[in-house]
Amino acid sequence: MDRPSDSSTDLLLLLAGAKGAIGTTLAAAVAAMQENPKLVLPGLTTADKFHFLGDCPSVAMAGWDLSADDIIGALSRHGVLPEGMWQPYASRLMQIPFFNSPDAALCVADQVNQLQADIQRCRERYPDARPVMINLLPATRDIADPTRFATVDQLLGEPGAGTLPDLAYAIAAIDAGIPVVNFTPNTVELPAICNLASTKGVPIAGRDGKTGQTYFKVVLASALKARGLYVDGWYSLNILGNADGLNLMDPDHACGKLNNKTHLLDDILGYPVGERHGQSTHKVHIDYFPPRGDAKEAWDVIDITGIFGMPMSLRLNLQGRDSILAAPMALDLARWAAALHTAGIAGPVPELGFFFKKPVGGHAPLTFEGQLAALDDLESRIASHMNGDGDTQTCAVSKRH
C-alpha cells in the first residue's frame, strides 16, 4: 500500500471476501472497464445514471480475505472466467490492495480497529474516491439470539467467534461514514447496526443478492398474479459447483438462503402456496454439483390453475453463471449506495428491493413492477436532493465525507 495517492478514482469498492468467486470476477470487471469498457458497461443498470458520481470506469477496488492466494491464483482457482479474459489486465489486477481478514479470536472492537486502520490506508491512496463496503463473505449460521445485541457497544464487547464475521466489517464501515451493501444471506441488518447507519448518515442495503432463479421467480410470480392465475405449487431446484454451493450443503449455512428464496413467493401472491393441500407446495432445493463450477443451472416447475380450477403448468430452465450475474449487480449497488450517500439519504433502503431476496427496512416493494417503480422513485429522490430540493439536514454529506 506504500504507493502514491490516486486522485482520479471516483468510486472505491471495499470488499469483504474479495478473493471469492464474486470478488475476483468484480476485480476482473473493474480492471477490464479501464481498457475495454464495452465488455462491462452494457451489463450495468446504472451506466446512464448518477453522472455526479463520475465515470463508471473510474472505479478502484481493495479488500479483505482469509485466503493467502494472490488475485491471479484466486481467479484461476474459481475458474469463472477463462484465463484469456483476465490475462490482458493482470498487471492492473496485481495492483489491487488486499488486507488480511481480522482474527476471529479477537473481540469485535479489536477487529473493527484493524479494519478501520486498513480503511484509512485506502482513503490515503484514493483521497477523492467515494468508498462503499460490499459484504461478500460466505453464507453462515445465523446468530442464535440477536436480541442480545440491542446496542453496538454490546456487539463490540463480544468475542468475534460469538457473532457473524460480517458484523465487524459493517460496523467498521458505517462508523467510518461508509455505506454498506450486504450481498450475502447473513443477517447483518440488526436494529443496532441500522440505527448506527442512520446516526452516521450512511445508507445500508441488503440482503442476499437476487441474481438468477429468484429474480425470474419474482418476475413470473408478479406476472401470474397480474393475470389472476392461481399458483398451486412451485418446485425449484438449483445445482451449482462453486465454493458457495459447497458451503450451502451445510444445512445451518443454507437456512437463511432457503428462507429468503422461499418466503417471497407467498408475499408476492398474497396467499400461502399450497393452502388447499394443507402444507406449503413451494419447495426450494440447492444441490452442490462439482462438474458445473460457477455455471449454475436451475429448474422451476410451476403448477397453476385458471377458471374452473383447470390445471396448467409452466417450466423454466436457467443455465446461468453465478458470478457473472452477481458481479455487475454488486457494482450497480455500490453506485446506488454512493449516490444515496452523496444525496444525504441514510439508513436501511427497502427501495433497493429489486436487487435483493430479502430487502432490509419496512414496506419493501414485493412485486416486480413495484420494485421497478420504487427504483424510479428513489432515483427521483436522489435527483431532488442533489438539486437542493431535499431535506437540508440530511443533504449535507459532501463528496469528501
Ligand X SMILES: NC(=O)c1ccc[n+]([C@@H]2O[C@H](COP(=O)([O-])OP(=O)(O)OC[C@H]3O[C@@H](n4cnc5c(N)ncnc54)[C@H](O)[C@@H]3O)[C@@H](O)[C@H]2O)c1
Which residues bind to ligand X, rule: CB under 6 A? 16-17, 19-23, 64-67, 101, 136-139, 165, 183-185, 208-209, 211-212, 242-244, 247, 322-323, 325-326
Q: Quick one: 15 or 60, whose CB is closer to ligand X?
A: 15
- The single-letter DSSP state of residue 201 is T
d(CA 29, CA 298): 25
Q: Check if the beta carbon of residue 29 is closer than 8 Å to that of residue 331.
A: yes
- The distance of closest approach from Cβ of residue 21 to ligand X in the complex, given in angstroms and rounded to an integer, is 4
Task: Identify which of 293, 251, 253 has the alpha carbon closest to the alpha carbon of residue 139.
Answer: 253
Q: Quick one: 131 or 344, whose CB is closer to ligand X?
A: 131
- The distance of closest approach from Cβ of residue 186 to ligand X in the complex, given in angstroms and rounded to an integer, is 7
Q: Quick one: 54 or 160, whose CB is closer to ligand X?
A: 160
How many Cα atoms sit within 13 Å of 69 on the Cβ side? 16
Burial 84-109 (b: 16+ CB within 10 A, else e): eebeebeebbeebbbbebbeeebbbb
Task: Identify which of 189, 145, 196 has the alpha carbon closest to the alpha carbon of residue 167.
Answer: 189
- The single-letter DSSP state of residue 157 is T
- The distance of closest approach from Cβ of residue 326 to ligand X in the complex, given in angstroms and rounded to an integer, is 4
- The distance of closest approach from Cβ of residue 291 to ligand X in the complex, given in angstroms and rounded to an integer, is 17
Sheet with 130-135, side-by-side order of all strands:
98-100, 59-65, 11-16, 130-135, 180-182, 203-206, 347-348
Q: Quick one: 138 or 344, whose CB is closer to ligand X?
A: 138
- The distance of closest approach from Cβ of residue 325 to ligand X in the complex, given in angstroms and rounded to an integer, is 5
- The distance of closest approach from Cβ of residue 343 to ligand X in the complex, given in angstroms and rounded to an integer, is 26
Angle between helices 191-200 and 165-175 (to 10 degrees): 20
Q: Quick one: 137 or 338, whose CB is closer to ligand X?
A: 137
Q: Quick one: 17 or 131, whose CB is closer to ligand X?
A: 17
- The distance of closest approach from Cβ of residue 344 to ligand X in the complex, given in angstroms and rounded to an integer, is 29
- Residue 293 makes CB contacts below 8 A (sequence gap 6+) with 78, 79, 80, 241, 242
- The single-letter DSSP state of residue 319 is E
- The distance of closest approach from Cβ of residue 380 to ligand X in the complex, given in angstroms and rounded to an integer, is 28
Q: Quick one: 316 or 373, whose CB is closer to ligand X?
A: 316
d(CA 160, CA 167): 9
Residue nearest to ligand X (CB): 20
Q: Is the peptide bond before 207 cis (omega within 30 degrees of 0)?
A: yes
131: enclosing H helix or E strand: strand 130-135
Q: Quick one: 16 or 47, whose CB is closer to ligand X?
A: 16
